[in-house]
Structure 1
Amino acid sequence: MYPQWTKLVCSSFSTSECLWERSCSRKLTVTLFCYSATSPDGVVKLDTADFGDRKVFVQLACAFRYGSEDLDVIGLSFRKDIWIQQVQIYPESHKPQLSAMHDTLLKKAGDNAHAFTFEIPNNLPCSVSLQPGPDDKGKACGVDFEVKTYLAKEKNNPDETIEKKDTARLIIRKVQYAPSEVGPGPKADICKSFMMSDKPVHLEASMDKDYKVFLLYFHGEAIPIKVKINNESNKTVKKIKVTVDQTTDIVLYSADKYTKTVFSQEFGETVDPSGTFENTLSITPLLAENKEKRGLSLDGRLKDEDTNLASTTIIRQGVEKDMLGILVSYKIKINLMVAGGG
């Protein structure tokens, strides 16, 4: 017996980060500074000696991938660009308003450096990766953001071959900010009857923070669950089991759904017949305890030190679910183990 709900929010604040990458030909060096979730600033340093009539473009793409890179050659992997934007920086046509970070990066890069910036729409999804198994190769399935700088004669010519040696790529993460308002915590109750017992067991569970304003939990923060039990039956409640399930819905092209348990713990609380129980149980779902589970949704790559379990997907008003690619939600279940009763 258990009450259940789906309103567990685990959010993460993005942090500023400076990244850089150089093409194999060493003609392109891109430096990117991510301070805001909506407008990454960057600079590309060029060696134009052998460019000829080719131009330099910078592209930011939000893409959904389902399948590994190894399957691309036989056409089995699936990739769809959810959103894409390109700017030409050489010969110069894109002239963003320079920020203080642009000035710093341009000064550091020296001659032949060109600035760029992108404005990311608010309706785009956050970065989500499905955790691969130990033997899986290639890119993990999920939603990612890639900044690509490349040499080409035309901006969008599918027939033009872009040399890998003249391409520099950076993967960036878009993480979810904590919303300003979430709402009060959920509450659920259930009444269970048993054979050979005239009266039932009542279970009530609720989630509220001490200040009782908004229900919001961050990665690594303990989650208190208030549990009330009124055992009117002639059975003995032997223990309480709490589990947290993560559900991942792939909504972009199919109805695939994965449910994985990310937390499970038994509490040795006994409630005798005609007895009552009221207490707060504390739980903390962590990626560190689930690293071997394939198919978990993460907010980054497993090899990144600051990766966590993916945040609950917050669907803004007017945003189509298909645009989000992957929806992540959590469910908490509370089971009472009753002697001779299930």
Structure 2
Amino acid sequence: MGGGDWHSNTRFTLSTVTDYRGQQKTDRAEGTVNWIYNFAINMSKVFKKTSGNGHIALYLGKRDFVDNVDSVEVVDGVIKVDPSGLNGRKVYVYLACAFRYGSDDLDVIGLSFRRDIWIQRIQVYPPTGANATKSPMQESLMKKVGEQGCPFSFQLPTNLPCSVALQPGPNDSGKACGVDFEVKGYIANAADNADEVIEKKDTCRLMIRKIQFAPANNKPGPKADISKQFMMTDKPVHLEASLEKEIYYHGDPITVKVKINNETSKVVKKIKVTVEQLTSVVLYSSDTYTKPVCSEEFGETINANSTFEKSFQITPLLANNKEKRGLSVDGRLKDEDTHLASTTLSQGDKEMQGIIVSYKVKVNLMVSGGGLLGGLTGSDVTVELPLTLMSPKPAANWIKGLFSSGLTSDLSPWKDEMTSKGIHRSDREHRTQRNSTPVTRGTTCHWVTTML
């Protein structure tokens, strides 16, 4: 189920036809897509967790589920049930989104340090017929599990937060605070009975992630300006700042264009550019925490009655903020690498609880006072820009995109779709390793995809 290795090079041949307008279309595309999809599932890693007594086992084909803002991927899987060990009880599966704001080790007086934001339970055994339609993923898992497999699926609402963790301090221990998602199978007499004690040996669970990727259409970046007049001067300093584009990827340098028109008698001594992360924790109340993740000073001097224009680059990285307690990072499974939390995208018409992350760029001019009053007449000029910091969308649907784009798009490595770790590699590494290469073109197109 996960032990087989990909061959270093795998070739797929797709036959195409040409219509009367000279456009290429794929012949028998539907069947080819299904074949490749089923082949990919059979070769991909399957995530499994068995209960302590061995009577139930949870199977998932993946652990990362994409939030497209207006819809979320269905969380589907299969649970294997051994009826001989149930003793008349039933088998349930629940999916929960929860906010963890304390370690389980602190639960010494019966207090819960975990609050469920959203939870849904379904009965899988005995079957109720609610999940009669199976997805291709479930069909493949059922073949692996056998007749004892019971499929289940959940539809997450769009107003749930993404998987985010608050970075612990150097001396903190235990699980990090943050938002997590859990799929749990359990044996019980009722789905949700507060008086029923469910033993740990009767449960099995897997953590999953709800993630967002940057939209494909990257618009021009924001622009902001300010004019500030100082004491003892009759003319202002005008500052304008802008970003090249609206969305930046993790690990990429952020280019900030700065224009200054200094009509005063003062001198601008330095320009400071800062990226700040804003984390809004929305539970019983809404609290926002601001932390700088990157700050650089540039020794540019803008004399009195002069103009200035230049672009500056800064790169916010988690590697430079490893000991900053309470910083929001993207949720991770086990001990794999992660990065700064991505900007939270939402429709805006629904209230969202949990952790909401945003960023802003601050451009600050340090203006000297000069004259007899010295620093008393000096001040700073500051302008702020909203920043969207996210990961690029891997080619999760690259097979279908192959046909709709006329076989001209680059293919991404299979690893991004096959394993959860591929999602959270550094984005610069992700793009440099995108090495699928078209060999020939024509009515028959051969693609050689180098597997990572």
When normalised by structure 1's length, the TM-score is 0.84
Within 5 Å, which residues of 2 pair with 1:95-114? 95-114=131-150
Letter of the structure 2 residue corresponding to residue 100 of structure 1: P
Structure 1 residue 310 corresponds to structure 2 residue 338: no
Letter of the structure 1 residue corresponding to residue 86 of structure 2: F
Structure 1 residue 89 corresponds to structure 2 residue 135: no
Contact 1:131–1:140, Cα closer than 8 Å, also in 2:
yes
Aligned to 2:60: 32
Letter of the structure 1 residue corresponding to residue 272 of structure 2: K
The structure 1 residue matched to 2:101, chosen from 43, 52, 66, is 66
Structure 1 residue 292 corresponds to structure 2 residue 327: no
Deviates more, 1:167-176 or 1:133-142: 133-142
Q: Distance in 1 between matches of 2:252 and 2:334?
A: 22
Letter of the structure 1 residue corresponding to residue 168 of structure 2: P
How far the C-alpha of 1:170 sits from its partner, in A, is 1.0
Within 5 Å, which residues of 2 pair with 1:120-139? 120-139=156-175
SS in 2 for 1:56: strand
Structure 1 residue 144 corresponds to structure 2 residue 180: yes
**5+ long unaligned stretches in structure 1:** 1-15, 210-214
Contact 2:104–2:113, Cα closer than 8 Å, also in 1:
no
Q: Distance in 2 between matches of 1:331 and 1:87?
A: 42
Higher normalized helix content (fraction of residues): 2
% same residue: 61
SS in 2 for 1:225: strand
SS in 1 for 2:107: helix
Aligned to 2:191: 155
Structure 1 residue 262 corresponds to structure 2 residue 293: yes
Aligned to 1:47: 82
How far the C-alpha of 1:144 sits from its partner, in A, is 1.4
SS in 2 for 1:226: strand
Q: Distance in 2 between matches of 1:65 and 1:116?
A: 26
CA offset digits 1:110-166 (Å, max 9, x no partner): 342222111112222212211122222333222211100111111111111111112
**5+ long unaligned stretches in structure 2:** 1-43, 67-72, 370-377, 380-452
Q: Which has the larger radius of gyration?
A: 2
Task: Give the aligned CA root-mean-square deviation in angstroms.
Answer: 2.5
How far the C-alpha of 1:243 sits from its partner, in A, is 0.9
Compared CA separation, residues 233 and 317, structure 1 to 2 (3 A): closer
Letter of the structure 1 residue corresponding to residue 117 of structure 2: I
SS in 1 for 2:144: helix
CA offset digits 1:14-73 (Å, max 9, x no partner): xx9853222222222211124653202211223333221111111101112222212333
Compared CA separation, residues 339 and 224, structure 1 to 2 (3 A): same
Deviates more, 1:263-272 or 1:163-172: 263-272
Q: Distance in 2 between matches of 1:312 and 1:31?
A: 31
How far the C-alpha of 1:339 sits from its partner, in A, is 4.1
Deviates more, 1:196-205 or 1:283-292: 196-205
Q: Distance in 1 between matches of 2:132 and 2:166?
A: 35
How far the C-alpha of 1:179 sits from its partner, in A, is 4.1
Compared CA separation, residues 305 and 234, structure 1 to 2 (3 A): farther
Aligned to 2:310: 279
> Structure with the greater relative contact order (CA < 8 A, sep ≥ 6): 1 or 2?
1
Compared CA separation, residues 327 and 172, structure 1 to 2 (3 A): same
CA offset digits 1:262-283 (Å, max 9, x no partner): 1111223232333322111122
Contact 1:65–1:143, Cα closer than 8 Å, also in 2:
yes
Aligned to 2:264: 233
How far the C-alpha of 1:300 sits from its partner, in A, is 0.6
How far the C-alpha of 1:244 sits from its partner, in A, is 1.2
When normalised by structure 2's length, the TM-score is 0.65
Aligned to 2:358: 329
Letter of the structure 2 residue corresponding to residue 130 of structure 1: L
How far the C-alpha of 1:85 sits from its partner, in A, is 1.3
How far the C-alpha of 1:221 sits from its partner, in A, is 2.5
Q: Distance in 2 between matches of 1:49 and 1:316?
A: 47
Deviates more, 1:194-203 or 1:161-170: 194-203
